[in-house]
Structures are given as C-alpha cells and as structure tokens.
C-alpha cells in the first residue's frame, strides 16, 4: 500500500514538474529520493509560502463560495467607499451574478470616479455576461478614446457583442488587432474560435500552428503566466 502511495506522489510531482516546466534536476531529486525528494519538491514548488494564502483562499471559496461576497457586502455596509463598492462588483462578476455586478459598477461611476476606466471596462464585461450586447457597445463609447481601450477585455467584449449583433466583419477586424506574436494568448484563442465559428478553417489552422510554435518556445515565466490559455489552445488543437 505504501509503495503505491509513493508511486502516486512521485507521479504527481513529475507531472507538476513537466506542466510547469521546472528545472530538470528536480526529476532526479524526485526519482532517486522517493519520499524525501518528493516532499522537498512539493514545499519548494507547490506550497511556497507566497502561495499558501492563495491556496487557503481557494479552499475557502470551494467550501463556502458565498463567503467572499458576504464579507464584501458587510464591508460595504460598514464603509460605502469606491474601493469597497468596486471590490464587491468584481466579486459579483467573478461569481456570474451579472445584474448585481452591473448595479454596483454603475453605483461606482459617480463624482471623481464618473469616468473611471477600470470600472467602465468591467461594466462592459458584466453587460456582455448578461447578454446585453447593445449596452456593451454603448458603454464602451465612454472609454474608446482611452489609450488602454484597444488592449482591454472591454474591447474584446465589444468585438464579440458586434458578432452577436450581426456585424461579423467589424468583429473580426477588432479581434485581429490582438493577433501579435508571443502575446495576447487569451484574445488570440478567442480569435481562433471566432474563425472556426465562421467557417474560416484555413485561417484558424494557420493561427493554431503559430500559437503551437510560440508555446513550444515559451519561457518558464511566460508559460506560467499564460497556462490557462495554453491548456485551452492545446485542447483546440485536439478537436
């Protein structure tokens, strides 16, 4: 029984080492020091001190997914500040509670924060999640002159909203602005799926091939920063 547990532990560590592209010497540590090596690897690469708080927060969120929202609601009741209201709106957006997110983002847009770029861009995301595509387009007009707009998620939401509204050519032109080598992996994944939806399979395949080459050349840091997009792109290649 203990033998199988050791093998399972080693297997997990090897898998983690491969997927996170850690240094090669860890393979020898894990394999030739079966238990001690695996434990050293776990504490050095999985349970780093800076990650412990994040792990704890994630576990709390899994066990009680409403706790974060409840705490933020109480915090806002105690102090109705811009920071507290926007944090609560972010939590609602993350939880898929789009109508509540919209109400709180709109409440933030007052006084000196009337034209706050962050809140308006997040409001676009909330409207998109709520399938209010016309409102996405209208809201984005408030920030379209900001230099950050064309590189934001709000811009992508506008592109996808225009697709939903039948402006497919405009949507494609907007999404293509994200197609820059070795960057914008999430946005280019969205472009890839867009091309597939509209039957542009050759263009989609060319983009997928480019992404695969870039992924194979990624640095360890870049891979970690984009790991979710990388996994999704890899899955697209298998479909």
Give the tens place of pLDDT for each residue, 163-175. 999 999 999 999 9
Number of structural domains in the chain = 2
Residue 67: alpha-carbon gap to chain centroid: 21
Is the residue at 147 inside a domain?
Answer: no
Residue 207 lies in a domain: yes
* 75 falls within a domain: no
Q: Write out the residue range of the structural domain in which residue 238 sits.
A: 178-239
Distance between CA 204 and CA 197 in Å, rounded? Answer: 10
What predicted TM-score, i.e. pTM, was given to this entire model?
0.74
Distance of alpha carbon 77 from alpha carbon 86, whole angstroms: 13
Residue range 68-127, pLDDT digits in tens = 899 999 999 999 999 999 999 999 999 999 999 999 999 999 999 999 999 999 999 999
In-domain check, residue 16: yes
- Compute the distance between CA of residue 147 and CA of residue 24 in angstroms, rounded to an integer: 42
Could you tell me if residue 104 is inside a domain?
A: no
Domain-embedded: residue 191:
yes
Q: Is residue 156 part of a domain?
A: no
């Amino acid at each position: 029984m203990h033998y199988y547990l050791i093998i399972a532990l080693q297997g997990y560590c090897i898998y983690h080492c491969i997927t996170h592209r850690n240094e090669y010497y860890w393979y020898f540590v894990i394999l030739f020091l079966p238990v001690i090596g695996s434990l050293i690897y776990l504490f050095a690469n999985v349970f780093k001190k800076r990650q412990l708080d994040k792990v704890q927060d994630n576990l709390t969120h899994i066990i009680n997914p409403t706790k974060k929202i409840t705490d933020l609601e109480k915090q806002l009741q105690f102090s109705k500040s811009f920071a507290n209201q926007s944090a609560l709106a972010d939590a609602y957006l993350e939880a898929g509670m789009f109508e509540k997110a919209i109400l709180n983002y709109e409440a933030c847009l007052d006084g000196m924060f009337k034209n706050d770029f962050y809140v308006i861009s997040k409001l676009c995301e909330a409207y998109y999640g709520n399938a209010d595509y016309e409102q996405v387009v209208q809201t984005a007009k408030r920030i379209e002159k900001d230099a950050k707009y064309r590189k934001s998620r709000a811009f992508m939401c506008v592109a996808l909203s225009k697709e939903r509204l039948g402006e497919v050519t405009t949507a494609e032109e907007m999404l293509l602005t994200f197609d820059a080598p070795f960057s914008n992996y999430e946005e280019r994944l969205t472009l890839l799926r867009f091309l597939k939806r509209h039957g542009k399979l050759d263009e989609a395949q060319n983009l997928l091939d480019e992404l695969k080459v870039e992924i194979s050349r990624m640095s360890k840091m870049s891979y970690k920063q984009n790991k979710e997009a990388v996994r999704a792109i890899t899955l697209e290649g298998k479909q």
